[in-house]
Amino acid sequence: MLDKLQDVERRYQELEGMLSDPGIVGNRKDFAKLAKERSGLEEVVSCYREWKRLTTEIEGHKELLEETDPDVRELAKAELPALKSRLEEIERELKRLLLPRDPNDDRNVVFEIRAGTGGDEASLFAAQLFRMYTRYAEGRSWRVELLSVNATGLGGYKEVIALVEGDAAYSRLKFEGGVHRVQRVPVTEASGRIHTSTVTVAVLPEAEDVEVEIDEARELRIDVYRSSGPGGQSVNTTDSAVRVTHLPTGLVVACQDEKSQHKNKAKALKILRARLLERAQAEQHAEVAQNRRSMVGTGDRSERIRTYNFREGRVTDHRINLTLYTLDRVIEGELDPLLDALTTSFQAEALKAQEPE
């Protein structure tokens, strides 16, 4: 572990030197990349330097135990236990910090929430979960962008998909994927019976951009023609419609919504690039789809990672056997007690897996 820590500190010092280089300071892209790397090492280096300081101080106190002055020996003896205890804490923290990082932790999140078993009640709870995660994001100054929504007449959601942008969003939300079970009396239930419904949540890291380069001179055939809209519209009086053919793939995109040929060409090219991007990411999307299936299961009532019981005011995370009687605050977005416990548990499992048998 010490060799690894020395390497980390050495790299941190290299980065500090590079970030003071005028040539790098003037290159915004390189500077941002190196600054991000340094920031990622800062906590480890700070902790390692504290470990070195404590180690030196403990050695100094041990030497003082050999002093002839009894008051000095007594003072050193009295301070040693606290120093050793603090050193043990730092060593545990260093082991945690040196765990292999999830490469997706710093990414934004694509959040997909879908009503499972339970009809209207499941849709209503899907909307409530979306509000819960939105409130949590707002509390961390993250940005939530609604991408797609399929609403019901009662104010619920059959499906809602959103992009959550923020510092280390995936690292905080990645354990939320799975089946969430709700037990309560639905507003549509006249007899007061408790119903059990489910909502599936998928938490996916935002995909990396894939560059789509098109050689317009060699790879495109551009055809212009008169728009075929209803008579009397000005778009019919000029050759404003555009058809773009991508020769290497045979993909064809036609656009005639705009009155300007230039605007129609720009829109057609935008659509073409999106379709080429979709094709380029097909393999990645297949892997993501598999991850989603393994995360959300079938949505059956028996599959669940968490249960929200409204009558008892409790929320239980079944993966770590944690029950909190603060459901009202959890539903309002106070998720940190749950997320911290999940993170700690999974880190403890990772540390245990690294221990020699």
| Domain ranges (residues) in the chain | 2-97, 109-209+291-354, 216-280
For 2-97, CATH number? 1.20.58
> Which pLDDT value is given to residue 287?
60
Domain covering 216-280 assigned CATH 3.40.50.410 in the classification: no
The candidate with the shortest Cα–Cα distance to 118, out of 220, 194, 27, 178, is 194
Token digits of residue 181: 């079970």
Q: Rounded to whole angstroms, how far apart are CA atoms 137 and 215?
A: 41
Q: Which two tokens stand for residue 332?
A: 């309002």
| One-letter amino acid of 179 | V
- Taking the CA atoms of 114, 117, 119 and 122 in sequence, report the sign of the dihedral they define: negative
pTM: 0.60
Per DSSP, helices labelled H in 70-162 are 70-97, 119-139
pLDDT at 210: 45
pLDDT at position 118:
87
Residue with tokens 């300071």: 25
Sign of CA dihedral 57, 63, 67, 70: positive
pLDDT in tens, the chain (357 residues): 677 788 778 888 888 888 888 888 788 888 888 887 788 788 888 888 888 899 888 898 888 888 888 888 888 889 899 988 898 888 877 777 776 677 778 888 888 899 998 888 999 999 999 999 999 999 999 999 887 778 888 889 998 888 898 988 988 999 999 999 999 988 766 667 888 999 999 888 775 544 467 788 888 898 888 766 544 344 445 677 888 898 888 888 777 767 788 888 877 777 677 567 656 656 555 665 565 555 555 444 446 899 999 999 999 999 989 999 999 999 999 999 999 899 888 877 776 666 655
Equal CATH topology for 2-97 and 109-209+291-354: no
DSSP letter string, 196-263: EEEEEEEEEEPPPP------HHHHEEEEEE----STT-GGGGTT-EEEEEETTTTEEEEE-SSS-HHH
Spatial separation of the C-alpha atoms in residues 195 and 216, rounded to whole Å? 59
C-alpha closest to that of 160 among 175, 144, 174, 172: 144
**What Cα–Cα distance (Å) separates residue 223 from each residue in 246, 263, 278?**
12, 14, 24
- What CATH number matches the domain at 109-209+291-354, 3.30.930.10, 3.30.1330.40, 1.20.1090.10, 3.30.70.1660? 3.30.70.1660
Any bridge partners for residue 111, and if so which?
162, 203
For 12, 14, 35, 231, 353, the CA distances from 27, given in Å and listed in that order, are 19, 17, 12, 55, 42
The sign of the torsion formed by the CA atoms of 317, 322, 327, 329 equals: negative
The whole-number pLDDT of residue 115 equals 93
pLDDT (0 to 100) of residue 292 = 54
Residue 207 confidence (pLDDT): 59
